[in-house]
Amino acid sequence: MNDEKLNLESLKGRIIAIDGPAGSGKSTTSRILAARLGYTYLDTGAMYRAVTWCALKDGIAPSDGDKLGELARTMPLEFKTENDNNRVFVGDQEITTEIRTPEVTGHVSEVSAHKQVREAMVARQQEMAGEGSVVAEGRDTTTVVFPDADIKIYLDADTRTRAERRVLDLKRMGITTTVEEQEADIIRRDKYDSGREHSPLTRADDSFIVDTSDLTIEGQVDRIIDLIRTHIEQA
């Protein structure tokens, strides 16, 4: 841990935006970072997953941009953080685990590619960020949602490492899969998320690249804290 001397007062109200492909370590890193800074963690991927889960439940086709956009605007989506765990609710129903199933993962890229869905979600994300003190992570938080973020990070890792991490994540949820399966899925999703017309995954020119292939989670958080120290605290 290297955050003993972080000046939390000077970091109040800031926005830290972290983008990167699936399995690059964004979620865990962002969650830990938010906890260390006393910030809110905004998991934008969970929001796209929640829309996808609702659409599948309500029988809305992943190709129906208008209906999905309406759903994204109106669904009663809420996050509750407990003991550093980010729990996801639609109304009274908790869907924290449900949004990570292979069925949702298999459809989320198509659902999140619609302009109507993106507009609705970006507006909600900006509103949720309120007064700042937020770590936001996703695919377009550094480019579209928070183009003026105080610091922008692009996390990356090779596809094999990312697939291995996904297998472990899913195993913890009781879902058995293989590295090969996950690697194929990651390559497919990368292609889709980077190639779509609206808000594709791209690296903002003013973002810092952190390659996490050989870093532990602790190492990733430390690296970002170093960047925060240099580029926010000492700015």
List interacting residues with ligand DC (CB under 6 A).
Answer: 22, 44-45, 48-49, 108-109, 112, 138-141, 189, 193
How far apart are alpha carbons 116 and 38 in whole angstroms?
Answer: 33
User: Is the torsion defined by CA of 117, 118, 123, 125 positive or negative?
Assistant: positive
Q: Which is nearer to ligand DC, 4 or 148 (CB)?
A: 148
Q: Which is nearer to ligand DC, 6 or 217 (CB)?
A: 217
Q: How far is the CB of 16 from ligand DC (least distance, A)?
A: 14
Q: Which is nearer to ligand DC, 48 or 53 (CB)?
A: 48
Nearest to 165 by CA among 3, 29, 38, 17: 29
Q: How far is the CB of 228 from ligand DC (least distance, A)?
A: 21
How far apart are alpha carbons 74 and 198 in whole angstroms?
Answer: 21
Q: How far is the CB of 121 from ligand DC (least distance, A)?
A: 8
Q: How far is the CB of 13 from ligand DC (least distance, A)?
A: 22
> DSSP characters for 187-233?
HHHHHHHHH-SSS-----TTPEEEE-TT--HHHHHHHHHHHHIIIII
Nearest to 20 by CA among 168, 156, 152, 118: 156
Q: Which is nearer to ligand DC, 57 or 115 (CB)?
A: 115
